[in-house]
Each structure stands twice: as structure tokens, then as C-alpha cells.
Amino acid sequence: MRWGLLSELARSDRTVRELCVLLERPQNLVSYHLGRLRSEHVVSRRRSAADGRDIYYSLDLHRCTEMLAETGVTLHPGLRLSAAPRECPARAADRRPRVLFLCTGNSARSQMAEALAQQLGAGAVEAYSAGSHPKPLHPNAVTVMRARGLDISGRRSKHLSEFTDERVDYVVSLCDRVREACPEFPGQPNLVHWSIPDPAREGDDDDETYPAFERTADELADRIPFLLELITHTVTPGGGLSPASLRTVAREWTRIGLTGFGGPPAHIALLRALVVDRMRWMDAREFQDANAACGLLPGPASTQLSIFCAYRVAGPAGAVVGGVGFIVPAVILILLLSVLFLAANPPLWVRGAGAGAGAAVAAVAVHAARGLIGPSFDHVRGSAARTACWIGYVVVGAAARLCLAPIWYSRCWHAGSSSCSRSAA
């Protein structure tokens, strides 16, 4: 259990919720072992700057190195560990991994990280930085980097949209807020998060915040060499978190199939929340493309999309397990509910529940659609022709719904009235 926690935290800072899903363990057990690791000063925690309810846990890799060395010496003096020199192996110029550091303003943390990665990487990686809301470079960031022999005074702040069409191998978010709003990047880069506080917010003026900038530079200087080791020893870039196990697929896809009241829009919204927003097994663009492709195929689009997503995160076996979990329990539940709802004289509570569920379907569908419209529009933003097509599709779809919905509901009403009349007779 603890080794699993260390393995996940060695790659990226995580919340308890993420660790529970990755390790498939209950929250109380995960929290207990995190507490034990904190007592040994191996793991630390910080409250999220984006959502105060979340707490990010991070691993002190230097402390791990010390403890591994102590363990070896305790077992046998000949097992004394010595740190290997961290030298990034040379690579061809066209094969150098590309790393993008992100924070909100691109005025301090990400600029410092970019400069340190360029210095420590010694040309083995290409490092860049950007922000979701760029602002001018902070003078303390310039001063702290100059003390380390790095001049960043001539650098400009950049918006992350400058990189959304470029292929990068690693995206490292240094800010909790930018992680929540991180856009999709081509090629499914590895996503790493370091929960580092904004040093500019730790005082009222530059003199008060300067110590915070020094601490930020120290933390980045500690973490970046380990990141470079990981990058240069990675043969092929992966995407986001570790692949899902079949047990996770069975649990999550069954949950979506059973709780997706509102039909396909609700199923699609729940799938996106899981595989894109929460676990980041897929990027938003790939999910949108898969959703569009499934909509063109015959049969239920949400079922086909769920099977594709399960295949994407766990392979062919995942597609089978996810498809069965998504379909079979929901069908059983529908059959059981049908026995109650379609009985000759269903109880009053059954009729009330049916009326309430029917009234909620429209609200659920509208809520799900609202969650999908934004990412769908982001997919075409920047191209006037594609934006015009997108607006046209929305208008035509809405017009078709407005024209056909009254006819469909009228037929359902007449069918229901005829059924009730036959039952009364």
C-alpha cells in the first residue's frame, strides 16, 4: 500500500481522491498510510489554492534517497548507496523532449522553472513556460534567478494558447488553478502537477515576498533534476495518470451506467468527467472526436463511446469489462423498475417516483449539454469557417428538436392515455 502511494507521488502531486482511484483503496485506508508517511517526513501536504477542500500530497525524493541509503547500510555495510551523478544523456537535436511549465501569470514560478530546466538539462531537453493569465515578470523572480547565475530579465510572459497546437512531451503545472483549467495538447503529453504556492501572494511588497521567492526557487531546484531523470529515461511519452485496471473500469463504468439518468447526454457528461477532467486518461480533443465519431455510427452513441473509452484506458479486455459493466447492470435495473412501473396498479410512491424522474430528465439533459457545449466550442475556436459550421449545427439541431419534440410528446401522451383507458376498463 505505501509503496503504491510512493510510486504515484513520485510522478506527480496527487489529492486523496485521485490516490483512492489509482490504488483502488478506500479513503480511510489511504489517509491512514499517508499520515504514517507524513510522520516520517517522506510526504508533505498543501491545501489547494484552487479549491480549499482539496489537499495535495507531494513526495520528498531527497528524503527517500536518504532512507533508502540508511536501509542498505542497516542490512549490510556493503549495500551503502551513493547517488549517481545526474547527467542528462545527449540526444539528437530533433529528438529532444519538450517540457512546458505552466502557472497562472507566467511571471514567476513557471519562468523560474523554465530557466532552471534549461540550465540543469544542459541541452538535453527543450523547456518552455506559459500562463493562463499572463502578467509582467516579477522583479523578485529576476533577482532570485540572477543570484543563481541565470538572467531572465529579457524574457516575456506568454499565454498558454501559444502552445496548444504544438506537440510537447511533458506538461508540468505549478499552480493548482491552472491545473484545473489546463487545455488539451496534441499527442497526449505526460501530465505532472507540482502544487507550489504563488510566492507573490505571501506578502504586501517585494521585500516581504522575497523569502518566498527564494523558497520557491529552492523547491524547483530540488524537483527539476528528478524530473529530468524521469524524462531522459522515458522511452515513449505516455499520457496523464497510470492506465486503469480492469477492477477500476468495472466499478466506474457500472457506476456511470446505473447513475446516468437523462440518457445519452448524461452518460457522455459522466464519461467526460471521469476520463478527461478527473483522471485525465484522455485529452479533451480526443474525447470530442470519439464522441462525434460514435454519433455517426448506427446504434446507441453513448454505449459505443463508453466501450471506446474503456478500450482506450485498459485495452481490449477493458472494452469488454467496461461494456458489460455499462450495459448489463443498467438493463437489469430497468427491467426491475419496469415491473413496478408497468404493474396494473402500481403503488402511489412508484407513480410519484416515476413522475419525478420523468420531470428530472429534461433538467439533467440540459445540465449535461451545458457541460459539453464549452469543450465542443473550444475545439473549433480560432477558425472562422469551423466556428460558422459549429453554430450552424447547433441551430439546425435546436430547430429539429423544437419541431419534433411536440410531435413525439403528443404521441407518448396519447399512447399513455390509451393504456390508462384500457387498464380502467
Question: Residue 294 catalytic?
Answer: no
DSSP letter (8 states) at residue 161 = G
Pairing outcome for strands 126-131 and 170-173: unpaired
- The residues pairing with 170 across neighbouring beta strands, listed in sequence order, are 99, 190
Q: Which of 175, 389, 412, 420 is catalytic?
A: 175
Please say if 175 is a catalytic residue. yes
Choosing from 20, 64, 88, 182, the catalytic residue is 182
Backbone angles phi and psi of 170, in degrees to 5: -135, 135
Helix 348-380 and helix 301-341: axis angle, to 10°? 170
- Distance of alpha carbon 303 from alpha carbon 328, whole angstroms: 11
Q: Whose CA is closest to 233, among 303, 152, 169?
A: 169
Whether the CA torsion 213, 218, 221, 223 is positive or negative: it is negative
d(CA 328, CA 324): 6
277 phi, psi to nearest 5 deg: -75, -45
Separation between Cα atoms, residue 283 and residue 280, nearest integer Å: 6
* Grid coordinates of 237: 511519452
CA–CA separation, 338 and 51 (whole Å): 41
Ranges assigned E (strand) in 281-350? none
Rounded to whole angstroms, how far apart are CA atoms 151 and 114? Answer: 12
Point out the catalytic residue in the list 20, 64, 88, 103.
Answer: 103
20 in catalytic set: no
How far from each other are the two terminal CA atoms of the chain, in whole angstroms? 64
| Contacts for 208 with CB less than 8 Å, ≥ 6 apart | 202
Q: How many other β-carbons are positioned within 10 Å of the β-carbon of residue 380?
A: 17
Task: Supply the residues annotated as catalytic.
Answer: 103, 175, 182
